[in-house]
């Protein structure tokens, strides 16, 4: 059975009472998000630069370097949400999106999913987003992508995963098609 333990603007905390196949009974707690999911975009400029953002992260109470990301709004596809987030966070839209992978985040405790997409053929266009302050856009040469892994403020697991998924995709040669 599921019981709501707490609820906030963003999350619901549920208590779950489960019985397993061996009759073992356990009580778990999980965080349930809004259910629409989120997107993270790995944008590549015409100059072969990755475009990242440095933004405040409340969970760690510091500034982190990572790829643009955000929630999928009602009625949006992941590609539509990705294009909107790019315009809000880095001031570019994209003509081309390639889904790289859908990942879970802390699945033992959290039901959220994130769609990671590669974006190219960028064009300038800005939308006003919900960020409390202007985000700092950081350009990173694609040829030096591995050095991102050494950056002290590039620690978010989803961004690290996105970078490695991009490397796999580019190494496959599919990006040249």
Beta strand 12-19 pairing with 2-7: antiparallel
Q: Looking up tokens 């539509």, which residue turns up? A: 80
- pLDDT, one tens digit per residue, over 121-159 is 999 999 988 888 888 999 999 999 999 999 999 999 999
Strand partners, 115: 39, 102
Alpha helices in 32-156 (DSSP H): 78-89
Average pLDDT for residues 8-29, to the nearest whole number?
Answer: 91
Alpha helices in the chain (DSSP H): 78-89, 157-171
Residue 173: what pLDDT? 84
Confidence of residue 175 (pLDDT cuts 50, 70, 90): low
Instruction: Note whether 25 and 31 are within 8 A (CB).
Output: no
Beta strand 113-124 pairing with 38-43: parallel
Q: Does the structure show a pLDDT above 70 at 177?
A: no
Average pLDDT for residues 96-115, to the nearest whole number?
Answer: 92
- For the chain, domain boundaries: 1-32, 36-176
Q: Is the pTM of this model over 0.95?
A: no
Confidence of residue 50 (pLDDT cuts 50, 70, 90): very high
CATH number of the 36-176 domain? 3.90.79.10
Q: Does the structure show a pLDDT above 90 at 106?
A: no
Residues contacting 113, CB < 8 A, separation 6+? 37, 38, 102, 103, 104, 105
């Amino acid at each position: 059975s599921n019981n709501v333990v707490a609820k906030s603007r963003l999350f619901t905390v549920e208590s779950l009472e489960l019985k397993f196949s061996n009759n073992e009974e356990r009580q778990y707690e999980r965080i349930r998000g809004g259910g629409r999911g989120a997107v993270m975009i790995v944008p590549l400029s015409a100059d072969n630069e990755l475009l990242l953002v440095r933004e405040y992260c409340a969970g760690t109470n510091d500034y982190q370097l990572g790829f643009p990301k955000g929630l999928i709004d009602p009625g949006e596809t992941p590609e539509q949400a990705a294009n909107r987030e790019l315009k809000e966070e880095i001031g570019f839209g994209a003509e081309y999106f390639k889904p790289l992978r859908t990942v879970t985040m802390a699945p033992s405790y959290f039901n959220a999913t994130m769609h990671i997409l590669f974006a190219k053929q960028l064009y300038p266009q800005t939308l006003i987003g919900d960020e409390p302050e202007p985000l700092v856009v950081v350009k990173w040469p694609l040829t030096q992508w591995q050095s991102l892994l050494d950056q002290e403020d590039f620690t978010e697991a989803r961004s690290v995963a996105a970078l490695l998924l991009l490397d796999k995709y580019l190494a496959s040669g599919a990006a040249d098609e």
